[in-house]
Amino acid sequence: MKVIYTILIQAILIANIYGQNVITEYKDLSSVKHKSAFIYNEQNQPIERINSTYYKAEQVDILRSKTEWVYENDNVVIKKEYRFDESAWRLVNEFEIFYDENGCILSQKQKFYIPPNEIKEKTITMVNQYDCSNPWKNDQDNSFLPDSPLETILTRTRTANSEIESYEEYDELTGDWTHKGIVERKYNQKNKLTEHFTSLLFYGYALKSVFTYDETGENLMGFQRYVKHQIDSDWELEEEKEYIYEGGLVRQIKQSNPHGPVFDFFLEYYCDGLLKKNTGIKVDENEVFQVLTYEYDQKIDCPEECDQLENLNLKIYPNPVKDIFYIESDLFQKKSSKVSIYNTLGKLVHRQEVTERVSGIQLQLNPDIIAQNQMLIVHLTSEGGYNISRKVLLRK
């Protein structure tokens, strides 16, 4: 479903949590090692990603694909997807996205380039039945159907705790617009996604993902994905995950399904809380099947005094924030420190230098920042290589 941003989801999630951009992601498997390299603009928006694969036995590194993004007023207006054929990049897909004055998507035009010289085009029209000044909770991720016909209408509506997308498609044979399916997202009081439901009538099946949290409603504890192979059949459990925390961070993820192997994923972090490594193990065979490692745009240098993550503290209150809030940390006792605040797209919205030794500081956010965001990431750095980040919810 998520054609536009699927390949960015993992990197953006890491940037959302830690306020830093992943510049390189490695996926080490038994016979190959995949690499994804990102380039960002001055606004911390991804403008290019190149995927390559290293074949260990042959000792050959091969380019595979490339994606480019062009922005206007913080919105993606052009996206291009390439494949590497022989010795040159070949354009495969091109997306052009149009917005209204409030930044809501109006339509998307897509071109498919089919060798040798064929081009197919389609248009998707958006109908946004909600207040565009109040951001779409799930962001405008351009969740368009991969196999929809040349003309599609997607209508978005909103309730107090849910968002619904309804799909209509034009039938060239009958000349009618036909309802084809819906996507619905439900949220808890912390604006955390609790259920994602997809009913695709034209494919003949439905999907449902359920997310469970701890008593605070903040920390993800479990995930279940269900499928209906026919619309009128019962839900069948397809996949299940359990998240295990230690020191406030996810340290282990247990993944299982009724008809397949069981996996354990063990997560390691740098001293400032940035994700360093994710090791996947097949439990039945006690075998490592993949290792994910991450490099960031800001060099991570952990001083000796920062060997343990618990040595760093950052307190923000009140949280959720309405306008004025306070930040306290031992890092303000250093000679100099800096507070950087990012939105959930990784864009810097506020930066402040602290040149005096204090116990804490007071900040007041611009009303536009409050109105346009649901969550921010506060990232504190100080001399000596200390870094720590916290998420902040915004209260309208």
| Contact predicate 336/354, CB 8 Å | yes
DSSP 177-189: EEEEEEEEEEE-T
Determine the distance from the C-alpha atom of residue 94 to the mean position of all C-alpha atoms in its chain, rounded to a whole number.
Answer: 21
The residues pairing with 162 across neighbouring beta strands, listed in sequence order, are 186
Q: How far apart are the first and last CA of the chain?
A: 31
Q: Residue 356 has what pLDDT? A: 85
| Domain residue extents for the chain | 6-296, 307-393
CATH class of domain segment(s) 6-296: mainly beta
Q: Residue 194 has what pLDDT? A: 94
pLDDT digits (tens, 9 = 90+) for 222-242: 999 999 988 788 999 999 999
C-alpha to C-alpha distance for 269 and 248, rounded to whole angstroms: 12
Give the sign of the dihedral formed by CA 143, CA 146, CA 148, CA 151.
positive
Q: Residue 201 has what pLDDT? A: 63
H or E element, residue 98: strand 88-99
Q: Residue 128 has what pLDDT? A: 73
Q: Residue 18 has what pLDDT? A: 42
* Tokens matching residue 364: 């007041």
CATH 2.60.40.3080 fits 307-393, yes or no: yes
Q: Residue 345 has what pLDDT? A: 67
Q: What Å distances lie between residue 259 and 131, 237, 262, 285, 299, CA to CA?
A: 44, 10, 10, 16, 42
Q: Residue 302 has what pLDDT? A: 53
The residues pairing with 339 across neighbouring beta strands, listed in sequence order, are 352, 380
C-alpha to C-alpha distance for 52 and 74, rounded to whole angstroms: 28
Under DSSP, is residue 125 helix (H, G, I), strand (E, B) or coil? Answer: strand
pLDDT along the chain (396 residues), means of 10: 34 43 87 93 86 95 95 89 93 92 83 90 80 54 42 78 83 78 88 88 82 90 92 90 86 92 89 80 91 74 45 77 86 82 79 86 87 82 74 79
Q: Residue 20 has what pLDDT? A: 57
Q: Residue 298 has what pLDDT? A: 57
* Tokens matching residue 136: 């779409």
The C-alpha angle 120, 115, 109, rounded to 5 degrees, equals 25
Under DSSP, is residue 61 helix (H, G, I), strand (E, B) or coil? Answer: strand
Determine the distance from the C-alpha atom of residue 376 to the mean position of all C-alpha atoms in its chain, rounded to a whole number.
Answer: 14
Q: Residue 134 has what pLDDT? A: 58
Q: What Å distances lie between residue 27 and 37, 38, 55, 85, 280, CA to CA?
A: 12, 15, 12, 22, 10
**What are the residues whose beta carbons fall under 8 Å from the beta carbon of 48, sequence distance 6 or more?**
38, 39, 66, 67, 68, 69
The residue whose two tokens read 């080490």 is 28
* Tokens matching residue 38: 């990102």
Q: What Å distances lie between residue 150 and 111, 116, 142, 144, 174, CA to CA?
A: 10, 21, 16, 12, 15
C-alpha to C-alpha distance for 316 and 83, rounded to whole angstroms: 45
Determine the distance from the C-alpha atom of residue 218 to the mean position of all C-alpha atoms in its chain, rounded to a whole number.
Answer: 17
Does this model's pTM top 0.75? My answer is no
C-alpha to C-alpha distance for 286 and 17, rounded to whole angstroms: 31
C-alpha to C-alpha distance for 271 and 395, rounded to whole angstroms: 31
| Contact predicate 53/62, CB 8 Å | yes
Q: Residue 9 has what pLDDT? A: 37
The residues pairing with 120 across neighbouring beta strands, listed in sequence order, are 112
Cis peptide leading into residue 135 (ω within 30°) = no
Q: What is the DSSP letter of 309?
A: G
